Amino acid sequence: MTKAVQTKSQKRQEARHAQILDAAAACFVKEGFHGTSMSKVAAEAKMSVGHIYHYFASKEEIILALVEREQEQTLVKVSEALTIPAEDLVEGFTERLSDSLCNHATPFQSILNHEILAEAQRNPKVAEKVYETDAMVREIFTKMFRERLGIEDCEARIEAMSAMFHGLGSRTQRNPNIDIDGLLPITREFLRQIFGK
């Protein structure tokens, strides 16, 4: 019984955490980390300001938790890519790229991307999390190159591929009229080269 009660309160706690992070994410996308006030987050979360501080010690903690959550989602997406058979890698990645560019996102990264990178430039804790995730992503890709393609020396390939993914993501931000379909042949060729030999 004690256990049931505790589980219940834990569930509620997790629900509240998620509720707050969802609200914060929504606000941050609209207004940025520093353009969003805690009272806006509270309003969006349908919660009192004070209550938010019951769950997060500070606004920064919310940002950090959100960055962490984004990371986890990134890792999930990246891991999914691992299930693609070796012979379909080029097409699979091209498709993912195409899909996510249509949503103004990067295959493995969310809309909060720039906000997070901008913040990372001056908040070491955020930077640390960014480094961590990137390291894990590279690790996963390394595994992919080795186990699926038999390519051992893949560091540069992974860097180039990641650069292309993030770079294409930022293209939709700089050029709203970008012709995504026109880009596919060239990126497909690029991926063929990356995965090739």
Partner DNA sequence: TATGAATGAGTCTTCATTCAT
Partner DNA sequence: GATGAATGAAGACTCATTCAT
Name the site residues for its own copies (rule: CB under 8 A). Answer: 29-35, 111, 114-115, 117-122, 130-131, 133-135, 138, 155-157, 159-160, 162-168, 170-171, 173-176, 178-179, 182-183, 185-187, 189-190, 193-194
CA–CA dist 193, 170 (Å, integer):
22
First-to-last alpha carbon distance for the chain, in angstroms, is 61
121 part of the interface to DNA, by CB under 7 A? no
The answer to whether 158 and 145 have CB atoms below 8 angstroms apart is yes
When the beta carbons of 18 and 132 are compared against its own copies, the nearer one is 132
- Asked if 123 is part of the footprint of DNA (rule: CB under 7 A), the reply reads no
139 binds, among its own copies, DNA, none (CB under 5 to 8 A by kind): none
Interaction with DNA in 53-82: which residues (CB under 7 A)?
53-55, 57-60
With beta carbons less than 8 A apart as the criterion, state whether 59 and 38 touch. yes
Residues facing residue 106 across a β-bridge: 109
DSSP class of residue 106 equals B
Q: What is the DSSP letter of 34?
A: T
Q: Which residues bind DNA (CB under 7 A)?
A: 9, 12-13, 16, 36-39, 47-51, 53-55, 57-60
